[in-house]
Structure 1
Amino acid sequence: MAAAGRVRSGDQFLCSICLEVFTDPVTIQCGHTFCKSCISEHWRVSAPYQCPMCKEVFNTKPQLKINTIISEMVAQFRHEAQHEPNISSSDQQAAKPGEVPCDVCSETKLKALKSCLVCLTSYCQTHLEPHLTRSALKRHQLIHPVENLEDRMCRKHDKPLELFCKTDHTCICHHCTYSDHKSHDITPLKDEYEEQKPELKKTKAEIQQVIQERRLKIQEIQQSVELSKNAADRETAEGVEVFTALMESVQRSLDQFKEKIQEKQRSTEKQAEDFIKELEQEICELKKRSTEVEQLLGSEDHLHFVQRFTCVKAAPSMKTWTKVSIRPPSYEGSVVRAVSELEDKLTEDMKKKKAKAELKRVQQYEVDVTLDPDTAFPYLILSDDGKQVHDGGVEKNLPDKPQRFTIYCNVFGKQSFSSGRFYFEVQVKGKTAWTLGVARESIDRKGKNTLSPQNGYWTIWLINGNEYKTWADSPVCLSVKSGLQKVGVFVDYEEGLVSFYDVDSSVLIYSFTGCCFSDKLLPFFSPCNNAGGPNSAPLIITPVNTE
């Protein structure tokens, strides 16, 4: 491939005016070199005297000096080109997809080595040979192989497009500078390339940024689809569970309905069987008596007849069947009653299912709540993990910090919330009094006040072992199933909602709605006084169990 290397080195011996290998190379004062005939003709038709390359203007016509170094190098280049060894077509590679093929090859198109801007043809090594050996073709301008050579030539002057007109934003040839683009802002394509390339790199970076944004958006959409799919799967599973339970309930009701009908029918059949059996027994006895009567009528023994007459004639004690009948049981309204009972049962089941689903929904907003010892009433004892609190019955010597409760057995959670949704659960098993909920961070912790929303409290409480209450505009008694063991507390800050749940039965105990929160909310706990022992069990913050 040394030959190819020497051919490529010829690009440095091209005149920038004729774009061919130098002939009689001369240098002007600015240091640029041209063919002597090219620069002379250029100055003959163009004024003032200006370098075609750097645009330097000379007041007088510059003196042309032969560039001996370039002359010797051009001579050496021509000599090497003439003695360039041929490369057989068998040693060359066929053009692959994306590579420029030789325009001369008739059968297998070999890979082009050069393209000629004069011939507007691309050549492989073999067909390039004339351009390297024949004097008439040596002056043609050869470039790296490209496709669509016609697009690189000026359609008006049939010369290579080597300049860029900034005024008209178009590529032009040297001859265009003397006609349509005279006095325009002209620059070599290479300079324009160097100027535009950084902008294109910036554009590339912007495109990559946009691509990255699109990829992130794709990930976001895919994640949304995945979340939607997971939600759909959960909803489908819950739906299957609910409808399966409904179908099982309907089937049980149908089986019970059929059993009741069949039970009535069996009872009727049993009564009929008993009546028929009794009647058959009486028929048997009557037949026996009829036989005796018939035998007595056939007797001619007067004594025997008279003696048996009274006994045979006397009718045995038998039931009067006139008023006896089998009345089919009444089934009227049984279907309606069964359906009504089923509706009531399904309604109750659906309420339970709905309650479980609602509790499950809010449980997904579980937060890890721990008790804040700096806020605890001095009598309270907190566990090391901050999850349990009870009244120890003895006041501890603690610093009276501004945040500490000093009147009631209260304590705050460490975590505060000023947006979003959150949920936590507290075990109240074994206690006879307690208070749970949330409160504003800014409540008065040193004075006495009512646990009302107006004072910044949204709570429910237990007193006297079985009285559950809350405070809305006034005290409200709550209907709670006895034996409440675990309470769930849910808050939707933006929605202004605070709800309390009986976790074990999935029943909503009470909800504060339409609340207007403008301050941080803190989980609020009060295990209340231990009452000498009966209320010594602790309040325990427990992890959520959705099973």
Structure 2
Amino acid sequence: MAEARISVDQKEFMCPVCLDLLKDPVAIPCGHSYCKSCITDCWDQEDQKRVYSCPQCRQTFSPRPDLARNTMLTEVVEKLKKTRISADCYAGAGDVQCEVCTGRKYRAVKSCLMCLNSYCQNQLEQHESLFKGKKHNLTEATGRLQEMICQKHEKLLDVFCCTDQKCICVLCTVIEHKNHEAVSAAAQRTEKQSFQSLSAPPESTDVNDDLFSSLVSSDALRESVHQPRDKLEDFCKEELKKISDRVAFPNTVPRNSKDSLQYSHQLTLDLNTAHKLLRLSESNRVITYTGTVQSYPDHPDRFDVYPQVLCKESVC
């Protein structure tokens, strides 16, 4: 008798918490299923309240329900994982091939900038399991991994040197390109894309037309750079004017310490705040650290940890 086949959507077997295929699936009393580790983590956060809820329907349970493995659901999910890589996942023309697969190559879904390999979905899961907890930099699958790595330092080319107009690694910025103007490669890529979005002139074989197009592009580029700078300068001038209107600047600036004395003011120290290792003299205008305890009366304002004292007058 032929085996009946039922088409199912993998989304029906996704964990609502981690949004991946269920791992060690368990069902809770309301009927919803989760990865055992996912629902355990959720309920661990609710331990203090002693009331546990379903992340999906919000139904609450008390005491904490026991979690039992759903054997049938586990088998279904395992079969789904095995069929996840089907014939249409083989690498075709223009696709990046998995560099770990033997035999016919599957289409790569991610590339690792640490291992310098591209992985299909199955090999990617093994890679993540092998390097769990380690920071491996994954990117969209690319066949140009070597071009993204600094040949000298074997680091990711994630910095753009504006001075030399080239991508460099972080070590290059402190050695060969020290003191050069640099931005992140991502920022440079975004800026370049915004410039490329400018409407391009129609194609022409005329040399003069090509030259004119280049000049137009240069003018547009120059204008796009100048506009933000001009706006920033105008903003700074306006803010400075607002500050100048509110603040009265002195007509003369003291040139030396003698000139500064005209702004001096005699301060009287507050005896009630003086620490007991400090001695006040000359009508409480001079303070001396003695290292010996002074016979000051107890006062709630007195400093008792650090040798400090307050002024009676405001200094502002």
TM-score tier, shorter chain, comes to 0.3 to 0.5
TM-score, normalising length from structure 1? 0.22
Of Structure 1 and Structure 2, the greater strand share is in: 1
TM-score between the two structures when normalised by the length of structure 2: 0.38
- Specify which structure has the bigger relative contact order, considering alpha-carbon pairs within 8 angstroms and separated by 6 or more residues: 1
Which structure has the larger Rg?
Answer: 1
